[in-house]
A and B are shown apart, each in its own frame.
Chain A
Amino acid sequence: MSVPVAVTGLGVLSAFGHGVDRFWAALVAGESGLGPIRRFTAPPGAGPAAEVPAVEARAHVRSPLGRRIDRVSLFALAACRLALLDAGLDPTELPLARTGLALGSEFGNLDETTTFLDRLFARGAANQLLFPNLVMNAPLSYTTIELGLTGPSAMLSAGEVSGEAAVAWGAELVAEGGAEVCLAGGVDELGEVLHQALHEACLLSATPRPLDPCADGFALGEGAAVLVLESVAHARARGARVYARLVPVAGFALPAPVHGWSRDSSPLAARLAPLVADADAVVAAASGEPELDVLEAAALAAALGGRRALVTAPRAATGWFGAAGALAAATAALAVAHDLVPPTLGHLPPARHGLGVAAGRARAAEVRVAVVDGLARGGACRPLRFEAP
């Protein structure tokens, strides 16, 4: 019954800049998106973070209502517009009632939430103009309004796999015929208070080293990535370029502490094994957070069972954020399209458990199957599987 799904467009806002070409070129070249924090005054001793260069609202907002758009919603909208442009789809020619939208975010609008609360605590007064921007689904509202999308839409929040969850939801929607086209991706912003909380908890590192035994923490980032998903038939009929096919696979959960990572990697390895059995590349969730790195490296090594697959962990370069999985999904689609696996910044071989981590420079290799393993705190797993078209 279900139809194959194609990825035909990518829109990425990352610390490297705006657009998928800039993202991919920098990632493949081994550039780091981390730098000094400019958006707010970071506490003394704070390390670098990955900030997205300013996005001009005027370039993306058309409706008068959109003038009040918040930064997170603007990121989402801009990523959607860039993705459509990349897919060669004119927003005015979309089948609006048959176009879906799925966006994932862990924290939504952090900046204006603290602004709102500051005023509420100081003066007992709320800012009515800010409030509509604070609901988690604000990016979904603004984007449907700006693009006129009236089909099914969903905002998903799944912690560290918020991006993967939205991409998977969009893929299922298209595969099951619920929409002809679906824009699916994720967005999160670098918020001052989030940074402060993680900094004060000593979780951040100046040099994230994913899957490296010396890993001592992660660096915070922000960004957005949106994939244009459509049925392979729809894509072929309009002569669209196809980056990769996105093959829906079920998400699952495993026993784990509600707020943390499991220490037992074998159940995860058993579930990942069939997913990575023929994978040429794995885009890892690793960020340099030691508990996650230990779990993921052990599980992947056991799941691969000695077979070599190139593993890359883009969060070292893009920074960690809840919806970073959307950028991981874009990375996997691009790896399939270009037969190229970008390096993992900060990582020095040998990797934990002898994993084949791409370090130092990008690896050219035939990538017929790329898997995003999609691991989140609390035992959720939301993998994505991309195949050559």
Chain B
Amino acid sequence: MAPAVVITGLGAVTALGGDVRALAAGLAEGRCGIGRVALFAPTGRAVAAEVREEASAVVGCLPPATARRLSRPDRFALLAAAEACRTAGLEPEFGRDAGVYVGTTTGGMLATEEAYRRRRAGEDPRFRLSRLLGTPLATAAAVVSQGLGLYGPRETFSTACSSSALAVAMAADAVRRGVVPLALAVGTDGLCRLTYAGFDALQALDTEPCRPFDRDRRGLSLGEGAAALVLETDAHARARGARPRAAVLGWAATSDAHHVTAPHPDGAGALAALAGALADARVPPDAVDYVNAHGSGTRQNDAVEIGVLRRVFGRRLARLPVSSTKSQVGHCLGAAGAVEAVATVLALDDGLLPPTVNLRHLDPAWDDLDLVPEAGRRAPLGVAVSSSYGFGGHNVSLVFGRAAR
């Protein structure tokens, strides 16, 4: 029988704050981290969930020249990963063979854009490689691995908005199969002009902070940040005296094979991912107590997603709380899956449902549902699912369970 995979450490850097404590408090209070874009001058009236960076001593684990040149998302990744290892009580000798599984979409694009603009405009007489070091997506994994001394397998996944949900699934898979004794799953992404302008051009952005599941929803709000989770077998955690915060029960990844930007109209791939993850977890739909939705706030996504949930959970969906963490931290793209996995683990561990904020008028198509509007609430939870649907039709569902006490 496959061993149980548990989560023993969490880390997060989001618009709600620089650590998990700040994220948990923001989720509990129903705060919205979405505001005006300050990082660059976007076109039009623009909002996003930006991370307000604070100086951190954590980057000191790298040589000064490397630390100085880290891109924002590489820094986010390192901070979140260090927090996850610290809260997992990880001593260096336990981490040595740990795998690092990262999900990201644009890496250090913000700095790369600027270096490119300067060179094109003639402001720089030649490209300086030191300004382009954060361009390859694999850099974040190298930063985390070298910074924290984690020398197991290293993988970087990029399946758009499901990138780090896939990273969590692959980390859990490696632990379950015994490939690694311990794994760190990380999602990270930083806002950049390219992503912002691209989503804006597709008219996918709400000019107000996004309103998932609302009748008047107009699109998503971009976010940024990083989240990290330490995964290991239950036996490994207990042997080193670590407290499991939750268990990863199952996962599945599927492809829509439908469209480069739009979701499948029937959500066929999303349905297969959710059903597959529940089957992998050996959990019947009736046992699920909470759904942390993809909930991007676009007209299409939310409608398709609710349709999928109705087909999986049937009439029981009316009593099953569903919420969108993107309403508070924005759509963190490559980091979204990991951020939402952390939110889901916190919900299970603290018995506190995170809300869907900015939800003032339920869409009449689902006014029978419990979308946890505006404020979180206490609820004992046993099993929760988190789904992420990537641009281009790459779907991942994760099933988490409360850790045995």
Residues of A within 8 A of B (CB): 65, 68, 96-97, 101, 106-107, 113-114, 116-118, 120-121, 124-128, 131-138, 140-142, 144-145, 147-159, 162, 165, 169, 176, 193, 196-197, 200-201, 250-259, 322, 376-380
Instruction: Kindly state whether residue B160 has any CB partner on chain A within 8 Å.
Output: yes
How far does the Cβ of A182 sit from chain B's closest Cβ, in whole Å?
Answer: 12
Instruction: Kindly state whether residue B87 has any CB partner on chain A within 8 Å.
Output: no
How far does the Cβ of A335 sit from chain B's closest Cβ, in whole Å?
Answer: 25
Q: Are B151 and A150 in contact (CB under 8 A)?
A: no
How far does the Cβ of B334 sit from chain A's closest Cβ, in whole Å?
Answer: 9
Given A120-B194, A140-B394, A378-B139, are A156 and B63 neighbors across the interface (CB < 8 Å)?
no
A251–B127 alpha-carbon span in the complex (Å): 33
111-135 of chain B: CB within 8 A of chain A:
113, 116-117, 119-121, 126-127, 129, 132-133, 135
Chain B 195-226, CB within 8 Å of chain A: the 1/0 string? 00111111100000000000000000000000
At the interface with chain A, which of B24-32, B249-257, B315-323, B344-352?
B249-257
B157 in complex: contacting residue of A107, A125, A155, A159, CB < 8 Å: A155
A120 in complex: contacting residue of B135, B152, B154, B197, CB < 8 Å: B197
Q: Are A154 and B159 in contact (CB under 8 A)?
A: yes
A217–B199 alpha-carbon span in the complex (Å): 39
A151 in complex: contacting residue of B119, B155, B197, B254, CB < 8 Å: B254
What is the chain B residue whose CB lies nearest that of A381? B154
What are 8 contact pairs spanning A and B, CB under 8 A?
A126-B201, A132-B392, A136-B105, A140-B394, A141-B393, A158-B156, A169-B155, A259-B139
A176–B155 alpha-carbon span in the complex (Å): 18
A254 in complex: contacting residue of B151, B260, B392, CB < 8 Å: B151
A145–B255 alpha-carbon span in the complex (Å): 9
A152–B119 alpha-carbon span in the complex (Å): 40
Instruction: Kindly state whether residue B375 has any CB partner on chain A within 8 Å.
Output: no
Q: Are B129 and A157 in contact (CB under 8 A)?
A: no
Q: Are A126 and B150 in contact (CB under 8 A)?
A: no
Given A136-B158, A376-B138, 19 other A-B residues pairs in contact with their CB atoms under 8 A = A65-B259, A96-B257, A97-B254, A116-B197, A118-B120, A124-B43, A128-B202, A131-B197, A133-B260, A136-B105, A137-B158, A149-B257, A150-B269, A153-B253, A157-B137, A157-B157, A197-B129, A259-B69, A378-B139
137-171 of chain B: CB within 8 A of chain A:
137-139, 141-143, 145-147, 149-160, 166, 170
A125–B201 alpha-carbon span in the complex (Å): 8
Given A201-B129, A251-B155, are A258 and B259 neighbors across the interface (CB < 8 Å)?
no
Q: Are A158 and B159 in contact (CB under 8 A)?
A: no
Q: Are B142 and A150 in contact (CB under 8 A)?
A: no
B158 in complex: contacting residue of A65, A96, A155, CB < 8 Å: A155
B257 in complex: contacting residue of A134, A144, A162, A378, CB < 8 Å: A144
How far does the Cβ of A350 sit from chain B's closest Cβ, in whole Å?
Answer: 32
How far does the Cβ of B154 sit from chain A's closest Cβ, in whole Å?
Answer: 5
Q: Are B392 and A140 in contact (CB under 8 A)?
A: yes
A101–B254 alpha-carbon span in the complex (Å): 10
A126 in complex: contacting residue of B138, B143, B198, B392, CB < 8 Å: B198
B145 in complex: contacting residue of A145, A150, A169, A379, CB < 8 Å: A379
Instruction: Kindly state whether residue B47 has any CB partner on chain A within 8 Å.
Output: no
Q: Are B158 and A157 in contact (CB under 8 A)?
A: yes
Contacts of A250 in B (CB 8 A): 152-153, 179
Contacts of A113 in B (CB 8 A): 194
Q: Are B139 and A258 in contact (CB under 8 A)?
A: yes
B390 in complex: contacting residue of A133, A137, A379, CB < 8 Å: A137
Q: Are A131 and B100 in contact (CB under 8 A)?
A: no
What is the chain B residue whose CB lies nearest that of A66? B260
A165–B138 alpha-carbon span in the complex (Å): 11
Contacts of B56 in A (CB 8 A): none
Q: Are B392 and A137 in contact (CB under 8 A)?
A: yes
Q: Are B198 and A158 in contact (CB under 8 A)?
A: no
Given A132-B260, A142-B260, A253-B154, are A151 and B146 neighbors across the interface (CB < 8 Å)?
no
How far does the Cβ of B336 sit from chain A's closest Cβ, in whole Å?
Answer: 14
What is the chain B residue whose CB lies nearest that of A105? B158
Instruction: Kindly state whether residue B377 has any CB partner on chain A within 8 Å.
Output: no
Q: Are A155 and B257 in contact (CB under 8 A)?
A: no
Given A201-B129, A259-B139, are A101 and B202 neighbors across the interface (CB < 8 Å)?
no
Instruction: Kindly state whether residue B62 has any CB partner on chain A within 8 Å.
Output: yes
What is the chain A residue whose CB lies nearest that of B203? A128
What is the chain A residue whose CB lies nearest that of B149? A255
Q: Are A380 and B142 in contact (CB under 8 A)?
A: yes
A252 in complex: contacting residue of B147, B153, B159, B201, CB < 8 Å: B153
